Amino acid sequence: MRKIIALFAVLILMVACVEQTAAEESEEVIAKIKDKKITISNFNKIIGYFDSERQKMIEKNPHLKETILRQLVQSTVIADLAKNQGFDKKPEIIEQLDFFKDNFLANEFLKRQVAEKVTIPEEDMKAYYDDNQEEFKTPEMVRVRHILVRVEPSASEEDKKKAKEKAEDILKKIKEGEDFAELASGLSDDPGSKANGGDLGFISRGRTVKPFEDAAFALKPGEVSGVVETQFGFHIIKVEERKEAGTQSYENAKERIRQKLSQDRSRTAVTEFIDKAMKEAEVELHPELLMKK
């Protein structure tokens, strides 16, 4: 429910931003709605309404930016229609908007005045690292590429035989010196890794099916497996890199620790602030009355 309220409130602010901000002549206009203009700075201001995690996600995804721009324009167009029909003057609409605005105002106040003021001293992060060593242990890992010749579970023995022969032909090309990544890009049936030359990144034990795992962890960097059969079909596996089991250093773990402690302490600070505010406001709650028919 909180997410819905926050999203609705952001939508209100998005529309308000278009209405209240005049576009400078020198700025690029990314959308127009009759005499209203949305510029790059308008859009960036709107993105600033989202939390930092969402902002990073939006910044990395041009398609998401386009989606938000379309939503902004659509909301503005529909909001204008609603106003032209007097919806913003209807008492029940005003009442609902006040409800959403109050929830958004409360959330923003808690975020800016309480959560964002929480600080994590260096010594606290170091103490957490020292006291939770198990959390920072890293397992043995290998970075692998693979080429998959897919076989459906319902495939006939003849189809399985043909698929294995295809995999053996590909393996022969690799042994003759053809590039593994190029062959994966052209011949693999795994859509998730095909575009990256069959690269699956680093995997640890227990993350893949057993025959694949056994073959991958038996290889040294640069080595290529034979044809490996799993329930998905026939694989050819190449290990690019190997990482032995170890413990992540404090410097590498520090940012993750900061985020965790910040989230935990922010949550606690917000809860304590709300409890104190409720007490000072002399709040009385009678939820039992809601149960009456």
Q: What is the pLDDT of residue 222?
A: 97
Distance CA(179)–CA(184), nearest Å, equals 9
**Lookup result for tokens 């393996």:** 171
Structural contact between residues 183 and 172, judged by C-beta atoms closer than 8 angstroms: no
- List the Cα angle 86/92/96 in 5-degree steps: 105
How many residues can be counted in the chain? 293
Find where tokens 């992060």 sit.
Answer: 125
Report the distance separating Cα 165 and Cα 106, nearest Å.
Answer: 65
Q: What is the pLDDT of residue 22?
A: 46
pLDDT at 292: 79
**What is the full per-residue pLDDT of the chain (293 aa) written as tens digits?**
444 444 444 555 555 555 544 445 557 899 998 888 888 888 888 888 887 788 888 888 889 899 989 988 998 899 999 999 999 999 999 999 999 899 989 998 999 999 999 999 999 999 999 999 999 999 999 999 999 999 998 999 999 999 999 999 999 999 999 999 999 999 999 999 999 999 999 999 999 999 999 999 999 999 999 999 999 999 999 999 999 999 999 999 999 999 999 999 999 999 999 999 999 999 999 888 898 76
pTM listed for this prediction? 0.64
pLDDT of residue 213: 97
Question: What is the SS3 assignment for 206?
Answer: coil
Show the DSSP H helices in 140-249 as ranges. Answer: 157-175, 180-187, 191-194, 210-217
